[in-house]
Amino acid sequence: MNIQFLSAILLSALPLFAMAQEIDCHVVGVHDGDTLTCLTAQKQKLKIRLAEIDTPESKQPYGNRAHQSLAAMVFGKDVRLDVQETDRYGRKVARVYQGSIDVNAEQVRQGSAWVYRQYLKDRSLLALEAEVKAAKRGLWAY
């Protein structure tokens, strides 16, 4: 492989690397089961949409419980965001980690969220969802 070809491939991949972003922040608000607000060390307020999952809206069945589940895991705590993109509403779409807990996966594991197949990157979430469905846990109990 010649150096020019390799350089062209690497340069074309730069936008992919630029999109991946890791941010540490403190959660100051939880809006529903898949959206939160956090504050960075620089006092920048960020609205975050949890990637690859979806939860019922607050007024839908299990919506309040999904909200409570997320709040119990992250509200008032420091989290790490692995940002995948920015959505059309200006929210950062991210996998959220509170310590060693993958919050997105934990929402699925607890039955508080289902996998958002349209935007799925981590196929292991499907196995978690299948287990929870089979056990009729959380929103799958209805």
More confident residue, 63 or 7: 63
Instruction: Give dist(CA 38, CA 52) in Å, integer.
Output: 19
Q: What pLDDT, on the 0 to 100 scale, is given for residue 104?
A: 98
Instruction: Judge whether 13 and 3 are in contact, CB under 8 Å.
Output: no
Q: What pLDDT, on the 0 to 100 scale, is given for residue 102?
A: 98
Q: What is the pTM for the complete model shown? A: 0.85
Q: What pLDDT, on the 0 to 100 scale, is given for residue 9?
A: 46
Residues assigned a catalytic role: 49, 57, 91
Instruction: Give dist(CA 130, CA 41) in Å, integer.
Output: 38
- Give the residue extent of every domain in the chain: 20-141
Query: Of 70, 77, 53, which is closest to residue 126 (Cα–Cα)?
Result: 53
pLDDT tens track for 67-117:
999 999 999 999 999 999 999 999 999 999 999 999 999 999 999 999 999
CA contacts within 13 A on the Cβ side of 32: 16
CATH code for the part of the protein at 20-141 = 2.40.50.90
pLDDT tens track for 12-25:
444 444 457 999 99
